[in-house]
Structure 1
Amino acid sequence: MKEKKNLTLNYVSVQIGLWTMYAPLMGYTSVFLLAKGFSNTEVGLISAMGCIISAILQAIVSGYADREKSKSVKSILTAIALVQLVLAVILLLLNNNFVIVIGVIFGALIALLQLMVPLANSLAMEMMNQGKKINYGASRGTASLFYAIFVSVMGLFAKGDDLRVVPLATILSVSILVIGTLLFPFRKAVRIMPVEVEHKVESKAFLIKYPKVALFLIGAICAYVGHNLINTFLYQIVVLKGGGSVNMGVCLSLAAMFEIPVMFGFAYLLARRDSSVWVRVGSVGIMLKIILTLIAPDMMSLYVVQVCQMFGFAVFVVATVYYANQAVEESDRVKGQAYMTMANTLGIVFASMLGGVLIDRYGTNGMMIAGSVITVVGTVLIFLSTTKNKAEAA
């Protein structure tokens, strides 16, 4: 049987399952947990703890996945997704009982979601490195379209204290991910290298080996702090501007819709300029979005601000996937993807821990002012650290 060379359609379902899961677990974090009786600070802590655990797991799992004798990325991703499915079912069955357990399970769901992102990215990059065609931008753009549909539909069903739509949406999305991953035709690459070289690669810590990448990751963390302050505490921002949960759903949907053209056309952008250019452009877009969110006077203005998603997060999140593949050696590529995702994960950690406390003490505007300053710093660091080749990164 002849092997398929273009795996874009196969990969689309993996991305749809992964990113639609962001709708219930990240887009509706505040709405769900506040309805269960948690405070803003507690909401932030649950999200932060989930991401801290995920960051630790990402380092462990990526180090394991890069080894020659490890299980394939496909097998690891499938196993984690099945655990996610079980936890989502338990969350649904608990309903409003055992509130502390609900908080723990929700944190675990966030942790596993973040853990799956670099594995899903590595799934595509590994096959692309083997000569298969995958339009990552188109796959990610399709996922954003389905995310937009998810958040819009969830906004209609998320009323009052009845938020069963959150675990139900999680179950649906993770089921799509499991099926898509199982059907994806993946083959683990065989990397043969001398024992002494393999030992040398393993013995040198990733961030020491690539100092410019390390600086880039600090900048990316700062950029993601700004992005995730808006996402995690969007409900509070919308309330400040005079809206409610339906308006929040519209904002999330608009942001996702604006992502789609850029993600579909990212292959064109990449053909015109190196990925190092696009990570810079994306960082500027993220910075502008939080600043404009701060100064937006009402809901209509906030709707308009969502256009920043087009040249901000949409560009940045896709560009970093390619940049991770470009800036490190072949033997470090899974770790490279993991560290890029870890930057987002740590961005969520700091955003969650800072955001809840800042809102409780200084209000939503105080939270966004702090986020704007952090994002400006991140943009500067990204401009200083981006490189076009592995030699400069190392």
Structure 2
Amino acid sequence: MKKTRGDRGLTIKYAALQGNYWMLFGAVFTFIAVFLLSQGFKAGDVGVLMALGNVTGAILQPWIAAAADKSERYTLRQRMTGITCLGIVPAAVLMLAPGSRFLSAGLLMVIMVVVSVQQPLVNAVNGYYISRGKSMNFGVARATGSLGFAVLSWIMGYLVAAFGERVIPIAICFLLVTMVAVISSFRMEREKSCNGETIEAAESFSGSGKRTGTSPRAPGSGWALIKKYRRFFLVLGGIVFLFAFHNMVNTYLIQIMERFGGNSSDMGTSIAIAAVCEIPVMVLFSKLAEKISPNRLIKIAGLGFLLKAGAIWLAGSVLMVHASQLLQALSFAILIPASVYYSDEVMEAQDRIKGQAFITASITAGGMVGNFFGGKIIDAAGVPAMLTAGVVCAGAGMVLVWIGAVPAKGRGEDGTL
């Protein structure tokens, strides 16, 4: 499909949406620990709060995505605007009239859920235009998201170090308002649902602008799917462990830095380094996938996570923690797109949407486990013990994905994998 001037304009607007969303995501999920710790919460309390936010978001995500897909009364733009506005109110209260620490925790819970449930809707914007013959480069737009995340992390780290933690709710409120403005720049029509199906993330990520079509949902229990895709569910188990490590480090990075005399500025710089390392991989992933099969890429990512866990565990200074973040290009940046490609490759047509949902659920579950147990371990035994647990999680995750990630040709005659 030849890209028109209008399509290029859509790519720019969509890149702005992705950039704004991931900046907002970073302000909320990366700096929430810094804010709550300054309010007198313990690391374990922060972990519980973030775990609750992850669980609530995971429960609401599919429901809101399905409601948006089936709605004939409201456009996708209207729903996204309404949900974003629900986050502006608690953010404004937190910014203008901070109360007790428990009120702050409750307001941040609402904001976390709002940001979480927006993610599938942000992805659905691409699917909306693809279904209408438009072409947008999802890889470039998502890379813009990583760039926005990196810039936000670096700036926020500096501002918090210079002016204190009250900067965090101000930034969150500002980014929620700008997101409403960006969403408003899109033009969308009301539509009838098509078989109740949602646009698949795999189609969106490829950036090809081509639809392969969706198949009706096949009946069957979760146990039947597990039996059918045994190896795939091993990969999902590995993803849970890998993201448990990933979230342990990201959520409690401020305490890792403080161990070496660092502060929130060092934390922001470190996160920015990791995010910048994602960008070239995200942009060039479709070409990488042409040369290396998705199952092998997942194995490479598993090894990358273990190497990163080992590097952070061995780090003896802020600079060495920064250096360990370079391995983000070999771990997170590969696993996210590779898991989408792999699911599409090994799942039969009627199960592909389920496969994407299981991947999202595994990432969310890993976040919940990492946030909860990471905080508890720090309170009980300190940061070194948490980093040791992170190495164990990364190792277990690597083993599971290496065993489970087999090519689609490994499927048996009965269709099982």
TM-score, normalization by structure 2: 0.81
C-alpha change, 1:216 and 1:186, in structure 2 (3 Å) is farther
> Does residue 295 of structure 1 match 2:314?
yes
For residue 146 of structure 1, the aligned residue among 122, 130, 148 is 148
**Relative to structure 2, which stretch is displaced further, 243-252 or 73-82?**
73-82
Cα distance in 2, alignment partners of residues 138 and 376 from structure 1: 31
> Does residue 44 of structure 1 match 2:63?
no
C-alpha change, 1:127 and 1:297, in structure 2 (3 Å) is same
CA displacement 1:347-388 (0-9 Å, x = unmatched): 221111101110111111111111211122112222333355
For residue 204 of structure 1, the aligned residue among 212, 220, 228 is 220
Does the 8 Å CA contact 1:81/1:178 hold for their aligned counterparts? yes
Identity of aligned residues (%): 27
Matching residue of 1:117: 119
Does the 8 Å CA contact 1:59/1:335 hold for their aligned counterparts? no
Give the 3-state SS of the residue equivalent to 1:21 in structure 2.
helix
Matching residue of 1:101: 103
Matching residue of 2:285: 266
Does the 8 Å CA contact 1:63/1:335 hold for their aligned counterparts? no
> Does residue 350 of structure 1 match 2:369?
yes
C-alpha change, 1:191 and 1:291, in structure 2 (3 Å) is same
Give the 3-state SS of the residue equivalent to 1:201 in structure 2.
coil
Amino acid across the alignment from 2:87: Q
For residue 92 of structure 2, the aligned residue among 89, 93, 99 is 89
Does the 8 Å CA contact 2:161/2:265 hold for their aligned counterparts? no
C-alpha change, 1:386 and 1:116, in structure 2 (3 Å) is farther
Does the 8 Å CA contact 2:70/2:193 hold for their aligned counterparts? no
CA displacement 1:94-148 (0-9 Å, x = unmatched): 33x2211111121222233222223323433564466543322211211222222
Matching residue of 2:17: 14
C-alpha change, 1:388 and 1:246, in structure 2 (3 Å) is same
Give the 3-state SS of the residue equivalent to 1:246 in structure 2.
helix
C-alpha change, 1:271 and 1:352, in structure 2 (3 Å) is same
* Structure 2 unmatched ranges of 5 or more: 197-213
C-alpha change, 1:291 and 1:108, in structure 2 (3 Å) is farther
**Relative to structure 2, which stretch is displaced further, 316-325 or 382-391?**
382-391
C-alpha change, 1:233 and 1:192, in structure 2 (3 Å) is closer
Cα distance in 2, alignment partners of residues 364 and 77 from structure 1: 39
Give the 3-state SS of the residue equivalent to 1:242 in structure 2.
coil
Does the 8 Å CA contact 2:161/2:263 hold for their aligned counterparts? no
- Alignment RMSD, CA only? 3.2
CA displacement 1:18-62 (0-9 Å, x = unmatched): 110122212212211011111111111111111111122124334
Q: Where in structure 2 are the equivalents of 1:299-310 lying within 5 Å?
A: 299-310=318-329
Matching residue of 1:254: 273
Cα distance in 1, alignment partners of residues 46 and 416 from structure 2: 37
